[in-house]
Structure 1
């Protein structure tokens, strides 16, 4: 009789789980207590799973703690509860306590870590899983590839690609989309395109990932063409796809997607407005995230009139909406309007956050009111790195270089970790002041930081030593770089020219061409100036530069 009752209860619990009958959980829990069924591990496991499906991880864990005879399914049930509620700390604690694990366990924890911003931890556990001899599933690989993209670890991504090929999962829909997204996020667009071509079918996720990858590598026209292809072949366009293409429109320059209206000479982002029309046509006009993307698109293009019209007609707004408007007016050098919107934001019951203050700080800086910006900065209880960088930029742009250097020192005293932007700004200020000792101190700080090999920062170092007449140090920085970009070459060439080493500057210019690096207008301008004052074969040099300039720019 007991066996029949247990079998009936097990079927009833499974029926409630499958059909998400949440209200039955307490009744069944009480019945198990009343009939002394808590010694039945199988039934309690099902009850824990029911609590998990109902979104009650704490209740699931209480049952877990009360159960003395646990098995791997007990652990799975409570682990799944925490993973589904994104409670990573408790999930990892349960995972660490498990006496044994299988592929399902590993998949649960890796997926949860990857989806909640713990990409590096997800990759560490993936390697542990592989070392334990467990075979990853398509879901494991998809999560790991997403984590690789999140931290731009293309090396690990390629290893996972190899595993996918070995397991015959490369053409799997989930794995294929994840591979495409990983390569796109890491900037390997050609590899992403090859994956895209090789997939047996495509959906909105595939197209959106491809579109984002093209956008992030500044291939704006191709990104928008991908959206047009998606629309043409009949792929369902969802809010995520629309938000992504609005990001493409926001990132585009005026020359990319604009026309001029001869009547009022105003610029219009044609494609952005077309997407706005599509948002309305598809019935997404009340979608808050999409409306925020539209606001951002208009604000990035300085069309605050359209942004205001949209904002005033939105059925719902968020802190993000207010921040976009404040940032948009800041970009338009309208500090007063930005401050006005912050006051409105407070009056409507929204609390300004760090982004709000950074946007206001940037508005003050752009309006050349660095003093007000500093007052606002000093009122922040715990300014973020973005706030420090915004004020540093304001000092530097307004030629308050001494204040920029002093602010950098204050950052060090307060143990605020600088980033590449911080270093580049303070190096520029040191260079403008000819402050060699200060620049050397920044260089020393760089040696302790991974930013030392960053090309953006290296270019600033080269500029500093060049302007302080320490050209050998500039050469040393240049020679130590693992790779080069055109900005570094330009800085080195300009530095040599500044120190009256024109012939050597021209040699570097030819080396740049020999490395396959396409020169910019700055490269030609520097060398045109160099050859005009160089000794010996200056006329020959100048003619050579003129020919290159013609081939590069005028013969298009």
Structure 2
């Protein structure tokens, strides 16, 4: 800005002195060219014409053309070009450069074909322009034509065609260009080598990229950044960090691109503290750095820290983009924090990002995962445009919240709007069929994946079908599906079979599923406990004792069940029989009072779920003080009045006793309860649940 200010002052001084010689204009015009100051160049041009200083001088016109080309000013460049009485190849190249930056591909090609003569610059300009417009195959056609007409490619040419190979992910072509460069013993050019490294990284050849990097005589910041990012992209975060340390020792100062990659590397290998230390050491953090750290916190189980950091970002006057906002919205969805999600929605509107496709899709997903399908639908309905992610968010959200028929209706509407479904779409559709018990409908949608949409069902889709058939009692058909799968069944397949076996008290198939799970996940307690419970329920105490003994020998521990509830933007977490909360006495008094009222209304705790040889009183206490019941009691104490639902989240499936308890409480207290467990949402209203007692 200071350079342009001085240039403006120099032009004003020239005018104040009246008529100056051509040399003065020439020097100033060249300075305009150097600084790309088109406004001052126009002033000088008009003044030169006023004093009859070479108004048709090709040299000056070409320099002015080049200024327009550098700024991508096609209209002014075209206008000046048409007024020129004499044009040389430089003039044509300058206009071609303007079109390569801002013109259409068709206009660029048409202009090139009009040129009376070409040189190496002409070909370099058309090739780089085509690559910039994504027409990489066309660029290679001109690369071949260039050589066929006897023009020797330059470093600029090599950079362009290597970038084209990177875009096309064409390793074979990239290797050919590398070989061509090597065979001619061309001197090392850092820009060419950077392009070679980038090409190999994008094509997945990280070792070749590193081999080139290690042999570079001169490395600028771009070389280091490419290699650090390359290791990260190829799943080698430790090598990224090691290279970052090498870079620091070599005296190269990292920039924000470096820091963003290294933050990502630290976060991938779980060293969140190192990432945080590096982040805090940066004096000027850009939006990418803030977003990287926010995502890192959320991916490492530090959702609260992610939300705090986002607020810091706003206080630091860093404007978030759509990706940042959607990342924070996803954090709210993971926490089921509806209140903070709504606040964030308001900030999104203030920032003018409510119509951003990524943001609005994330908002639909957040409202759905917080059990608020009404607001999810409002956001979805107001979206100016939708993609498959948007449709998936609303379809899957409806299916998870028990609105199965509505989810299937939305799928039909999605097809009517010519939107192509993807794998996630069918997970939502098949889940809706499973929860609603629509076997024929589920089979029809499952077969349509291949027959109508040309998609190969994934393990997730087979899981949905096993769940659908097993819940309806068709265990043989569920096992037949597994045996006919083209891919090896994973732990999700066998876990689903084990679950539906338990529902049907089918110990034979339960044992089959459990054996596979013991091999796939030998330290996961869930299959041991589920099969053990099946043995106990059928009176096979020896089988139960054997499994419990095996768990002890292998030091396998049961995952602790816990629930949490958010009150006034603060999360309160409970475990079974929890006595650590500051309001423990009030919580237990409230819960015991509820149990007494419910028993008077016909509720009886299901002590059969306690599979231990203890007294009935101990069984009663064990079943009555589960974590979700404690969270509910605290919610009723904190929000005794009002129509806003009490929202609870549990990390595993809700047990049948707690499920029945919630139904009774919703009827006795006339309060709506929304419980999100590890499998689905339960909306309890007036003694009924949205899952229709199937979860």
Relative to the length of structure 1, the TM-score reads 0.70
Secondary structure class of the residue paired with 1:236: coil
* Residues 294 and 328 in structure 2, CA contact (< 8 A), matched pair in contact too: yes
Matched, 1:386 2:389: yes
1:241 alignment partner, one of 248, 258, 262: 258
Offset, 1:77: 0.9
Relative to the length of structure 2, the TM-score reads 0.58
Structural mapping, 1:317-396, within 5 Å: 317-320=319-322, 321-347=324-350, 352-395=355-398
Structure-2 separation of matches of 1:25 and 1:310? 45
Against the structure 1 CA distance between its residues 328 and 203, is the aligned structure 2 distance closer, same or farther, given a 3 Å change threshold? farther
Matched, 1:130 2:140: no
* Residues 326 and 359 in structure 2, CA contact (< 8 A), matched pair in contact too: yes
Structure-1 separation of matches of 2:230 and 2:129? 24
Which residue does 1:512 correspond to in 2?
none
Q: After superposition, what is the alpha-carbon deviation per residue over 1:316-340, rounded to whole angstroms, capped at 9, x for unaligned?
A: 3244454443343233321321221
* Residues 131 and 139 in structure 2, CA contact (< 8 A), matched pair in contact too: no
Offset, 1:38: 5.6
Offset, 1:425: 5.3
Structure-1 separation of matches of 2:160 and 2:521? 44
* Residues 138 and 169 in structure 1, CA contact (< 8 A), matched pair in contact too: no
Which residue does 1:154 correspond to in 2?
171
Secondary structure class of the residue paired with 2:253: coil
Against the structure 1 CA distance between its residues 430 and 189, is the aligned structure 2 distance closer, same or farther, given a 3 Å change threshold? farther
Q: After superposition, what is the alpha-carbon deviation per residue over 1:378-433, rounded to whole angstroms, capped at 9, x for unaligned?
A: 22232123212322343455566655444333222111234454456556767886
Offset, 1:357: 1.0
Which residue does 1:313 correspond to in 2?
315
Structure-2 separation of matches of 1:431 and 1:153? 43
* Residues 9 and 43 in structure 1, CA contact (< 8 A), matched pair in contact too: no
Matched, 1:442 2:462: no
The structure richer in helix per residue is: 1
User: Aligned Cα RMSD in Å?
Assistant: 4.5
Q: After superposition, what is the alpha-carbon deviation per residue over 1:86-135, rounded to whole angstroms, capped at 9, x for unaligned?
A: 876765564454455443233334434545xx43x134212332244254
Structural mapping, 1:411-430, within 5 Å: 411-419=414-422, 421-422=424-425, 426=429
Offset, 1:14: 4.1
Structure-2 separation of matches of 1:155 and 1:397? 46
Structure-1 separation of matches of 2:348 and 2:492? 50
Against the structure 1 CA distance between its residues 127 and 360, is the aligned structure 2 distance closer, same or farther, given a 3 Å change threshold? same
Which residue does 1:25 correspond to in 2?
41
* Residues 354 and 360 in structure 2, CA contact (< 8 A), matched pair in contact too: no
Q: After superposition, what is the alpha-carbon deviation per residue over 1:27-68, rounded to whole angstroms, capped at 9, x for unaligned?
A: 342256453956554442233123334664432221123336
* Residues 428 and 464 in structure 1, CA contact (< 8 A), matched pair in contact too: yes
Structure-1 separation of matches of 2:416 and 2:424? 18
* Residues 295 and 306 in structure 2, CA contact (< 8 A), matched pair in contact too: no
Gaps of 5+ in 1: 258-268, 479-487, 510-518, 529-545, 551-556
Against the structure 1 CA distance between its residues 6 and 163, is the aligned structure 2 distance closer, same or farther, given a 3 Å change threshold? farther
Structural mapping, 1:107-186, within 5 Å: 107-115=124-132, 118-119=133-134, 121-133=135-147, 134-168=151-185, 171-186=188-203
Q: After superposition, what is the alpha-carbon deviation per residue over 1:290-312, rounded to whole angstroms, capped at 9, x for unaligned?
A: 33444443444422353145224
Against the structure 1 CA distance between its residues 179 and 66, is the aligned structure 2 distance closer, same or farther, given a 3 Å change threshold? same
* Residues 170 and 176 in structure 1, CA contact (< 8 A), matched pair in contact too: no
Offset, 1:354: 1.9
* Residues 123 and 142 in structure 2, CA contact (< 8 A), matched pair in contact too: no
Q: After superposition, what is the alpha-carbon deviation per residue over 1:266-301, rounded to whole angstroms, capped at 9, x for unaligned?
A: xxx202211112212xxx24x344334444434444
Secondary structure class of the residue paired with 1:237: coil
Against the structure 1 CA distance between its residues 465 and 276, is the aligned structure 2 distance closer, same or farther, given a 3 Å change threshold? closer
Gaps of 5+ in 2: 1-20, 470-476, 529-549, 555-695
Offset, 1:348: 5.8
Structural mapping, 1:63-102, within 5 Å: 63-67=80-84, 69-84=86-101, 91=108, 94-95=111-112, 97-102=114-119
1:52 alignment partner, one of 69, 88, 91: 69
Structure-2 separation of matches of 1:247 and 1:86? 37
Structure-2 separation of matches of 1:97 and 1:419? 46
Structure-2 separation of matches of 1:56 and 1:306? 44
Matched, 1:274 2:277: yes
Structural mapping, 1:34-53, within 5 Å: 34=50, 35=52, 37=54, 40-53=57-70
Which residue does 1:264 correspond to in 2?
none
* Residues 131 and 164 in structure 2, CA contact (< 8 A), matched pair in contact too: yes
Secondary structure class of the residue paired with 2:418: coil
Structure-1 separation of matches of 2:250 and 2:97? 38
* Residues 74 and 103 in structure 2, CA contact (< 8 A), matched pair in contact too: no
Secondary structure class of the residue paired with 2:452: helix
Against the structure 1 CA distance between its residues 128 and 216, is the aligned structure 2 distance closer, same or farther, given a 3 Å change threshold? same
Matched, 1:204 2:221: yes
Structure-2 separation of matches of 1:137 and 1:473? 60
* Residues 288 and 316 in structure 1, CA contact (< 8 A), matched pair in contact too: yes
Structure-2 separation of matches of 1:350 and 1:186? 34
Matched, 1:291 2:290: yes
Larger radius of gyration: 2
Offset, 1:179: 2.2
* Residues 36 and 70 in structure 2, CA contact (< 8 A), matched pair in contact too: yes
Which residue does 2:413 correspond to in 1?
410
Which residue does 1:189 correspond to in 2?
206
